[in-house]
Structure 1
Amino acid sequence: MTRKERLMSAIKGEKVDRPPVCFYEINGLNQDPDNKDRFNIYNDPSWYPLIRLAREKSDRIVLRHIEFKTQSEDPLALLTTVKEYFDEKGSFFRSISIKAGNRTLTRSTRRDPDIDTTWTLEHPVKDIDDFRAWIDLPQSDNVGEPDIAPVLDAEKAIGDSGIVGIDMADPLCEVAELFNMGDYTVMALTEPELFHRALQKVFENKIKKVEAIARALPNRLWRICGPEYACPPYLHPKFFKEYVVRYDKPLIEMIKKYGGFPRIHCHGRIKEVLDDIVATGCIGIDPVEPPPQGNVSLAYVREKYGDKLVLFGNIELADIENMETAEFEKIVISSLEEGTRGEGKGFVLMPTAAPIGRKLKPLTLRNYEKMVEIAENFLY
């Protein structure tokens, strides 16, 4: 099988020659060692062997966020101010402020040259009056047309070595990330009516975008981020049905209407919400974190839900970066055995995340190599 065929067969729950092994965000396309930008960690020579391994050996899943092109004016454009600067250490700061009635909602972020992530320093919604002001902000009814070129370009670039998936935040993700985590949990627990108003606002815009994308790019894998915000320990499991299923199910139905394969991304303690995850209609879930990060074994999820869900996981990044290879090998074999045991749909061996530092440790590279070696020789 080609790597593309292997992935699509696993996603469809069909027979494969062996389980796919994907490095999650490390796909060898997004990581460009020739880009000399100082914020590109992947131009450090320590990354070159892993990038090459991802390109040549991994079953590549390249994710793309879809932007929209519209002729209508953004109703927030005249209300928004952006400030950007670099500090003496070379870190990049951005501040986006939106005038919302008599309040100003500001999100501030920082990006450091040696870390491939963006840190949020200030969240725009800090109290209930900010939240009301955000809900009342205008939004256009015309979402425009999706720019599908990045997906088509990526598919052309990787050929039959993998697939390109669509990356999307759900309504809960967009609303939760307006707050710091403490304020979010208090608001979600104590102001459910207001919280639903916010979720509905996001949903009304998002369902239009999802239909436009799904129609233009049918039969693709999707990753839906955000449901973990309604999992323990952040919220009681009862809120998952209220804040996730209620809004994600119609989005997932729309994706499936056009032949898409919606996968829910949900870190943490998922055991108590697995029935609700299935109720969304999704075809799969990642990363099925093992204890202590999660609270359920891969074997349990495979036994109880393997006939309903394709499983992606469940190799902890911390193990890849820190565990001696002889011990790490046992973890990989266990995941492969648990993820494919008995009857069920597909399984994709995959880490829970990816390294974000400029220097990749030799141990980390050896453990990625071991993942490929074991997967290539694994027999059902």
Structure 2
Amino acid sequence: MTSRERLMATLRGDPVDRPAVSFYEIGGIPMDPSDPDPFNIYNDPSWQPLLSLAEEKTDLIRMRSPHMQPSPDNCHDEFFRSHREIVNGSWITRNELHICGRTLAEVIRRDPGIDTNWTIEHLLKSPEDLELYLQVPDEAFEWIPSVNNLIESEQEVGERGIVMVDTSDPLCNAAALFSLQDYLLVAFNRPDLFHRLLEKCSRALYPRIEKVSHEFPGRLWRIYGPEYATVPYLPPRLFEEYVERYTTPIVQAIQAHGGYARIHCHGRIRDVLPSISRMNADALDPIEPPAQGDISLREVREQYGDQMVLFGNIEVSDIENMDPAEFEAKARQSIHEGTAGTGRGFVLMPTASPYRRTITGRTLLNYLTLIRLIGA
């Protein structure tokens, strides 16, 4: 089977010649080792063997979001300003919201040796700030998606894999406006106000999902954000309120056009799996093993494997830090648990990707072990 055939058969629940294997972001998100930008960690020579391994040996799942352009009624620039500069060797981005005579600010830092962004000041810091944010007209968040880049990515990857449409859910967009502490305080103590925010985020997001799923039907999607409402952050009843209620319409819109909805949820998922099942998700990732997670892949396979394709179960910290012999034993266990008995399908995959500039020999060796064990 080609990688495209293998992945699509897995999503449908059809037999495959072997389990698919993905390195998640490696081979997933765009990485250009030829770009000399000092903030591009992937131009370090230590990354090159791993990038080549992903391109040549894994079942590629390109992670892409549609390009966006403002709607004719979009008034975003009337309320939001953004400024970016290098300070002490790091990119500093300051985003401002100007409303009702006040200025709310968000500050983001990006360092040259790490492929991540650090939010060092969040836009909303209190329920009063949220009240102001809710006064921003919905038109400021109206963006029209184009699927042209998704089609181009699919043509580029060919039979080596598939394109997965990447989207946040309303909870992700809402929670990210706050620090974790302030988000939890509002979500716990002001559910009335937080529901108004989720409704606002939904009004912006749902039409985009519908348009893309209609114009790019039958593809895999990843929906991220539900982990904001898992233990120890929020109890399962609030997962039902903040995820099941607002993310289910996304799942339904994707499936209405023949697509496959994959829920992305790190951490302790045991108590929210019933909600995810009720959402009728087609797939789930990354199913972190204990102690980062709180349920084994074997249990998830036994209880929900007939409904959902299971992605993941290889902790990225184990890839980076574990002795190769110990790592091989753990990877063998994941493959066994992910394929034992009956089930819709399994894709061997790390829970995330390394994000530092240097890839060690141990890390590369452990990635090679995944390829060898799966028979790719």
TM-score band w.r.t. shorter chain = over 0.9
Q: Which amino acid aligns with 1:268?
A: G
Distance apart, 1:67 and its partner CA: 2.9
1:294-343 deviation per Cα after TM superposition (whole angstroms, max 9, x unaligned): 10000000001111111001000010001111111111110010011111
Change (3 A) 1:144 1:177: closer
1:168-208 deviation per Cα after TM superposition (whole angstroms, max 9, x unaligned): 00000000011100111111001011111100111112111
Q: Which residue is 1:95 aligned to?
A: 94
Q: Which residue is 1:119 aligned to?
A: 118
Counterpart contact for 2:67–2:149, Cα < 8 Å? no
Distance apart, 1:75 and its partner CA: 1.7
Q: TM-score, normalised by structure 1?
A: 0.96
Q: Residue 261 of structure 2: SS of its match in structure 1?
A: strand
Q: Residue 95 of structure 2: SS of its match in structure 1?
A: strand
Q: Which has the higher mean CA deviation after the structures are superposed, 230-239 or 63-72? A: 63-72
Distance apart, 1:375 and its partner CA: 0.4
1:233-270 deviation per Cα after TM superposition (whole angstroms, max 9, x unaligned): 00011111100011111111111001110100000110
Q: Which residue is 1:253 aligned to?
A: 252
Change (3 A) 1:181 1:97: same
Q: Which amino acid aligns with 1:288?
A: I
Stretches of structure 2 that go unaligned for 5 or more consecutive residues are none
**Aligned partners of 1:304, 1:231: CA distance in 2, in Å?**
19
Q: Residue 140 of structure 1: SS of its match in structure 2?
A: helix
Change (3 A) 1:335 1:273: same
Q: Which residue is 1:269 aligned to?
A: 268
Q: Residue 22 of structure 2: SS of its match in structure 1?
A: coil
Q: Residue 97 of structure 1: SS of its match in structure 2?
A: strand
Counterpart contact for 1:85–1:92, Cα < 8 Å? yes
Q: Which residue is 2:132 aligned to?
A: 133
Count of residues paired in the alignment: 376
Counterpart contact for 1:76–1:139, Cα < 8 Å? no
Q: Residue 20 of structure 2: SS of its match in structure 1?
A: coil
Q: Which residue is 1:40 aligned to?
A: 40
| Aligned Cα root-mean-square deviation (Å) | 1.4
**Aligned partners of 1:232, 1:36: CA distance in 2, in Å?**
41
Change (3 A) 1:4 1:229: same
Change (3 A) 1:270 1:335: same
1:56 and 2:56 matched = yes
Q: What are the equivalent positions in structure 2 for 1:225-236 lying under 5 Å apart?
A: 225-236=224-235
Distance apart, 1:106 and its partner CA: 1.2
Distance apart, 1:136 and its partner CA: 1.4
Q: Which residue is 2:329 aligned to?
A: 330
Counterpart contact for 2:85–2:93, Cα < 8 Å? yes
Q: Residue 78 of structure 1: SS of its match in structure 2?
A: helix
Q: Residue 35 of structure 1: SS of its match in structure 2?
A: coil
Q: Which residue is 1:297 aligned to?
A: 296
**Aligned partners of 2:348, 2:232: CA distance in 1, in Å?**
26
Distance apart, 1:145 and its partner CA: 3.6
**Aligned partners of 2:189, 2:101: CA distance in 1, in Å?**
24
Change (3 A) 1:92 1:259: same
Q: Which residue is 1:341 aligned to?
A: 340
Identity %: 45
Change (3 A) 1:142 1:229: closer
Distance apart, 1:133 and its partner CA: 0.7
Stretches of structure 1 that go unaligned for 5 or more consecutive residues are none
Counterpart contact for 2:166–2:223, Cα < 8 Å? yes
Q: Which residue is 1:193 aligned to?
A: 192
**Aligned partners of 1:103, 1:300: CA distance in 2, in Å?**
51
